[in-house]
A and B are shown apart, each in its own frame.
Chain A
Amino acid sequence: MSSRKLEPFTVVSVIGVSLAVLACAIPFWMIISGSFTSETKLATTGYSFFPDFDVTAYTMIFTGSAVLNAYLASVFITFVGTALSLAVTSGLSWVIARRVPGISRPLTIFSYLPMLFSGGLVPLYLLVTQYLHLQNSYFSVILPLLVMPFLVFVQVSAFRQLPESIFESAKIDGAGELRIFFTIALPLSKPILAVVGLFYAVHYWNDWFMALLFIDDVHKFPLPLVLQNLISNISFTAMLPQLAEAATPVYQLRLALTTVAIGPILLAYPFAQRYFVKGITLGATKG
């Protein structure tokens, strides 16, 4: 493969990939650049490629408590949610992966069936609001998203790749199943726990649907919901341009909030990216 000459198809591919890269990167640049552009400039174009380092929106965001609260809400949902999800998912995956007679097989079907048939929105809504009374609690966002079957796939196949001989010898040394799980299997699975944890974290960080359904106290909105609210108001102002000229830099604020929302993902991404690739490769080929 190394000594091949440059062919037209390769050139086309390089151009194609470069265009795809630009198409994926430029919108983010427009958002970030726009968030540092003054409202007067934004109010005429709505976007900008060259920032003029105007930080009005960020000053508003970081001096007021509203966005900070939303940020903390998202952080809470992400951390508590990811921790709970990881615990529940790895417990389940381990039992499935061990192929315990009479337990693992029914458990597999029991866990994957909800992927095929769901009660839908209405029963879930009634369950959370009328029976569990979780409105305006962050657990109304966390609990419905607790287990993602795809990540159970990933983790089961990762557990099954651990060498059986270790567990055999641990058993001979008198270790019980629980002990094997906590002191051998989990520590050996740190890389896959990172993969699964990252997927859950992104999921919780980005969620706004559960929040939209179950959280109506404005002071408890997580970040994506604050953003979503701003969109609806902005599309409104888009129809009435004079509103955009009010004292609040609505456009800049919207872009700054978007930047703040994607910030953590963008910062963690270069380090986490290979785990994501590993995760979907494992899930796709071994699932």
Chain B
Amino acid sequence: MVGLLALPAVVFFLVFNYLPMAGLVVAFKEFDVNQGIFGSPWNGLENFAYFLESGDAARILFNTLFLNVLFLGATLAAGIILAIMLNEIRSTFFKRVSQSVVFFPYFVSPVVISIILQVLLAGASGGGGAVNDALTGFGLPSVDWYTEPGPWPWILTVVKIWQLGGYLSVIFLAAIMGIPEEVYEAGMIDGASRAQMAWRITLPLLKPTAAVLLVLGVGRIFYGDFGTIYAIIGDNGTLFDNTDVIDTYVFRALRQLGDFGTTAAIGLFQSVVGFILVVIAVLIQRKYSKETSIL
């Protein structure tokens, strides 16, 4: 009887999650809209072969892994540093306000982030923007950022830190709050400075939390951050070499080429490898700490 309450959710998962899994057979088909997913003729592994031979495969796989590793490491480090620094602040008011402010970027749409970035990097023309004005102010040459693929992995990393640093610091600060007061009192009696206590007490005790987040992040490493990257890069082809990830590639192929078979093949590849990574990640994490396990 009580199970009825879960019925809408069950229907949701069946239609929007489990049914599409079955729809992945389209990866092995020569898809034709008129014949539908199950009516279209099979074409074996041709879709996969097409993707691997297109020459894009190596580039977007590399970008996906490289960018995600960069994002994961940088945001976790930023979150930990910010949390430790926030913990040092004595004034409750200043601490609360700062935490609110650094947490705020988490709540804005990637589209808004993209606009902020244009204000900073492009301004009214390619070589304008606040950053270029600052560079010029220091006597440095300005850069036409949106035509220069080189720095974009780092620009995107800064964006991710800006977007997620505050959010992660909230999680880490909660973990710091859970550290018993006596540990610090013992440290104080031994004459430890605040910096020593942060380095030798707080940081090691944040390891379990960091490990959980790291493992979860590793599990997601095959999924590009579509929203942020696509909102910022869009269809700016000059930047693709360094920024195109699986998700953006699939999306473009779907929208521009309408090639359902190949895109589904890439999607299936991504799902399978992603799934294997998630399972490995979850198993490692379960072994590491039972009580914070996600399953």
Q: A residues within 8 Å of B by Cβ?
A: 1, 4, 7-10, 12-14, 16-18, 20-21, 23-25, 27-28, 30-31, 34, 42-47, 87-89, 91-92, 94-96, 98, 100, 103, 107, 109-127, 130, 143-144, 146-147, 153, 176-178, 181, 202, 205-209, 224, 227-228, 231-232, 234-235, 238-239, 241, 244, 251, 254-255, 258, 261-262, 265-266, 269-270, 273, 276-277, 280-281, 284-285, 287
Q: Mark B93-106, 1 if CB is under 8 A from A, else 0.
A: 00001111111110
Q: Does B149 contact A (CB under 8 A)?
A: no
29 contacts between A and B (CB under 8 A): A13-B87, A17-B85, A24-B104, A25-B101, A30-B120, A31-B119, A44-B124, A45-B123, A46-B123, A47-B130, A89-B9, A91-B7, A111-B13, A117-B21, A122-B24, A122-B264, A123-B22, A123-B264, A123-B267, A127-B20, A202-B107, A206-B109, A206-B110, A228-B114, A232-B234, A261-B111, A266-B104, A280-B171, A284-B174
Cβ of B42 within 8 Å of any chain A Cβ, yes or no, is no
Q: Are A112 and B16 neighbours in the complex by a CB distance under 8 Å?
A: no
Which B residues lie within 8 Å of A258 (CB)? 112, 115-116
Partner of A231, one of B20, B33, B114: B114
Of A25, A118, A285, which is within 8 A of B174 by CB? A285
| Chain A residue with the shortest CB-CB distance to B3 | A103
Q: How far is the CB of A260 from chain B (nearest CB, A)?
A: 11
Other-chain residue from A9, A116, A127 in contact with B16 (beta carbon distance below 8 A): A127
**Interface presence of B26 (CB below 8 A):** yes
- Distance in Å from the Cβ of A74 to the closest Cβ of chain B? 10
Q: Given A1-B181, A27-B119, A110-B13, answer yes or no on A94-B85 (Cβ-Cβ < 8 Å).
A: no
Q: Indicate whether B186 reaches chain A with its CB closer than 8 angstroms.
A: no
CA distance A94 to B267 in the complex (A): 33
Q: Are A121 and B251 in contact (CB under 8 A)?
A: yes
* Cα–Cα distance between A121 and B116 once the two chains are bound (Å): 28
Docked CA distance A177–B295 (Å): 26
Determine whether B19 belongs to the interface, using a CB cutoff of 8 Å to chain A.
Answer: yes
Mostly, the A contact residues are helix
| CB < 8 Å A-B pair total | 318
Which of A13, A42, A100, A224 is B111 in contact with, Cβ under 8 Å?
Answer: A224
Q: Is B17's CB within 8 Å of the partner chain A?
A: yes
How far apart are the CA atoms of A122 and B250 in the complex, in Å?
Answer: 8
Q: Is the CB of B184 within 8 A of A1?
A: yes
Say yes or no: A13 contacts B184, CB within 8 Å.
Answer: no
Complex interface: chain B residues within 8 A of A107 (CB): 6, 10
User: How far is it, in angstroms, between the C-alpha of A16 and the C-alpha of B250 when the chains are bound?
Assistant: 40
A146–B17 Cα distance when bound, in Å, is: 11
A251 and B118 alpha carbons, distance in the complex (Å): 11
Nearest CB in chain B: distance from A48 CB, A = 10
- Chain A residues with CB under 8 Å of B295's CB are 109, 112
CB-CB under 8 A from B226, the residues of chain A are: 209
Measured between beta carbons, the chain B residues less than 8 angstroms from A9 are 88, 193-195, 198
Contact status B5-A91, CB under 8 Å = yes
**A43, A120, A235, A262, most chain B CB atoms within 10 A:** A120
Given A9-B88, A45-B124, A254 and B275 touching (CB < 8 A)? no
Minimum-distance CB pairs A-B, first 5: A46-B123, A123-B23, A119-B20, A120-B267, A123-B20
- Across the two chains, which residue of chain B brings its CB closest to A270? B100
Cα A118 to Cα B182 with chains together (Å): 46
